[in-house]
């Protein structure tokens, strides 16, 4: 168990390094973009995440559930063949849409007048394939390698590329070169990760299936398809739940700069999410193996203790750092420390994010336990509550209105999933650290 414990620690460490690199990148952006333009760019990144998730049709999550259960390489290859064949139509259709939409923009519109969110759509197909291959690595328990690539290498490449392109010139608002950077980085990472995965697993990724018209029928392909669609719905609703606050601010709030301030706070509190995700990377392949048989629960409980202990301790330390050094941290962003005005928003959203991540610990088990319908219904209700309350409160109270709506729905989120997980997995103490 010592090896497992160290693995969890190193994954969290790598995720933290990646977060710091991402923070360095955003510090550079806040010094070269106005708060309004920076806010638009961050919304564009959110759109990139949402659309990439949709294009994968939930198969990045079903891979984490099914591949660990398929011990033989031939069985794993069956899933991968089905996976590429399953997503090819929507990927090809989306690429055709992008081609026509881009031609329309070039002919009838000034590209500088286009919102960054539309420009970011161009990078989504490459980003989706990259995300899928990263999940393949994780599903084969190459958790440290996948974490290093996705957190450290990705942000190193982004930083180097940004500095190379913009080192001698200022970044323009809605600059298409911002999208080119992400396209180039995701392409490099996709090729590198695909080669690495093939070497580690001995399985070649069947990219040719994007153009194939025939596919063998697999015994479990219907189960894979059904589960994947449910996972996609869960993931999309969850991403909307995470990002809709910025969209509400963009529409309702009159001050465009406030979106940039709020976006930076979201980046800063993202470390809570990275810590939780590191625990998820560590636990997820084991959940699907152990949860089928209660005889395995003691071993799974031991993993939960070790993962949660690190997570909760780091949560407490990080929250204290934001309380005592939050203003100093914010002063490093933007010109003349213009982002310090959002300090109290940072503290409030950090608290809200802790509630959210505690709920995520329980939701992870419900997801792999087959409770997708409950998750989808709960997320849809919470998304509706956040949207309605967020619009009303933002209209009357500005940025602290949306923060208040965020805290309320995060608490309900934690409560809904913690209670359900306690009921369904009575033998497991999912939120315990002792």
Residue 388, classed as helix, strand or coil, is: helix
| C-alpha–C-alpha distance, residues 368 and 25, integer Å | 34
∠ CA 124-73-139 to the nearest 5 degrees?
A: 45
* Whether 264 contacts 34, CB under 8 Å: no
DSSP 34: -
> Could you tell me how many residues make up the chain?
434
* Whether 43 contacts 250, CB under 8 Å: yes
Q: What is the pLDDT of residue 391?
A: 93
- Beta-strand ranges (E) seen in 255-325 are none
Per-residue pLDDT of the chain (434 residues; tens, 9 = 90+): 444 444 566 777 888 888 889 988 898 888 878 888 888 888 888 889 999 999 998 888 888 877 776 655 567 777 888 888 888 889 989 999 888 887 877 776 655 556 677 778 888 999 999 999 999 888 877 878 888 999 899 999 998 887 776 654 455 555 677 778 888 899 999 999 999 988 887 777 877 777 666 555 554 566 778 778 887 887 888 888 888 888 898 888 777 788 889 999 999 998 898 888 777 666 666 676 666 666 667 777 877 887 788 888 889 999 999 999 999 999 989 877 789 999 999 999 999 999 999 998 888 888 777 788 898 899 999 999 999 999 999 999 988 999 999 999 999 999 999 999 888 887 778 876 65
Give every CB contact of residue 209 below 8 A, 6+ residues apart in sequence. 81, 84, 85, 88, 215
Q: Which of left, alpha, beta for 337 (phi over 0: left; psi -120 to 50: alpha)? A: left
Q: Which of left, alpha, beta for 152 (phi over 0: left; psi -120 to 50: alpha)? A: alpha
Q: What is the pLDDT of residue 168?
A: 42
> Among 70, 86, 76, which Cα is nearest to 201's?
76
Q: What is the pLDDT of residue 9?
A: 67
Tokens of 100: 């026509």
Residue 111, classed as helix, strand or coil, is: helix
> Among 195, 200, 169, 192, which Cα is nearest to 73's?
200
> Among 381, 364, 375, which Cα is nearest to 425's?
364
Give every CB contact of residue 105 below 8 A, 6+ residues apart in sequence. 111, 114, 118
Q: Sign of the CA dihedral 55, 56, 57, 61?
A: negative
Place of tokens 């990219």: 207
């Amino acid at each position: 168990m010592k090896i497992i414990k160290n693995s969890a620690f190193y994954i969290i460490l790598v995720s933290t390094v990646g977060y710091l690199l991402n923070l360095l990148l955003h510090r550079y952006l806040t010094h070269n973009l106005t708060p309004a333009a920076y806010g638009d760019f961050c919304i564009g990144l959110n759109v990139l995440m949402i659309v990439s998730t949709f294009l994968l049709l939930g198969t990045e999550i079903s891979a984490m559930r099914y591949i660990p259960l398929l011990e033989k390489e031939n069985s794993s290859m069956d899933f991968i063949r089905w996976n590429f064949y399953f997503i090819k139509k929507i990927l090809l259709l989306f690429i055709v849409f992008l081609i026509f939409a881009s031609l329309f923009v070039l002919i009838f519109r000034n590209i500088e007048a286009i919102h960054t969110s539309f420009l970011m759509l161009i990078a989504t197909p490459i980003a989706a394939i990259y995300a899928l291959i990263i999940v393949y690595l994780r599903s084969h328990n190459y958790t440290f390698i996948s974490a290093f690539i996705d957190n450290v290498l990705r942000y190193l490449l982004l930083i180097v590329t940004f500095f190379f392109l913009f080192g001698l010139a200022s970044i323009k608002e809605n600059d298409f070169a911002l999208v080119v950077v992400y396209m180039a980085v995701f392409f490099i990472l996709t090729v590198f990760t695909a080669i690495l995965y093939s070497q580690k697993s001995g399985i070649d990724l069947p990219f040719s299936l994007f153009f194939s018209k025939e596919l063998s029928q697999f015994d479990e392909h219907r189960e894979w398809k059904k589960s994947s669609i449910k996972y996609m719905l869960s993931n999309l609703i969850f991403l909307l739940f995470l990002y809709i606050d910025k969209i509400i601010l963009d529409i309702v709030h009159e001050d465009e700069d406030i979106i940039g301030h709020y976006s930076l706070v979201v980046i800063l509190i993202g470390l809570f999410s990275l810590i939780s995700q590191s625990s998820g990377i560590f636990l997820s392949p084991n959940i699907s193996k152990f949860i089928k048989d209660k005889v395995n629960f003691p071993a799974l409980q031991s993993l939960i203790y070790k993962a949660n202990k690190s997570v909760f301790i780091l949560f407490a330390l990080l929250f204290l750092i934001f309380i005592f050094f939050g203003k100093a941290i914010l002063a490093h962003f933007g010109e003349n420390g213009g982002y310090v005005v959002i300090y109290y928003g940072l503290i409030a959203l950090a608290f809200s994010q802790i509630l959210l991540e505690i709920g995520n610990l329980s939701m992870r088990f419900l997801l792999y336990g087959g409770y997708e319908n409950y998750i989808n219904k709960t997320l849809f209700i919470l998304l509706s509550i956040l949207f309605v309350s967020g619009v009303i409160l933002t209209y009357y109270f500005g940025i602290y209105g949306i923060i208040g709506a965020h805290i309320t729905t995060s608490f309900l989120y934690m409560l809904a999933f913690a209670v359900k997980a306690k009921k369904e997995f009575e033998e497991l103490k999912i939120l315990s650290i002792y």
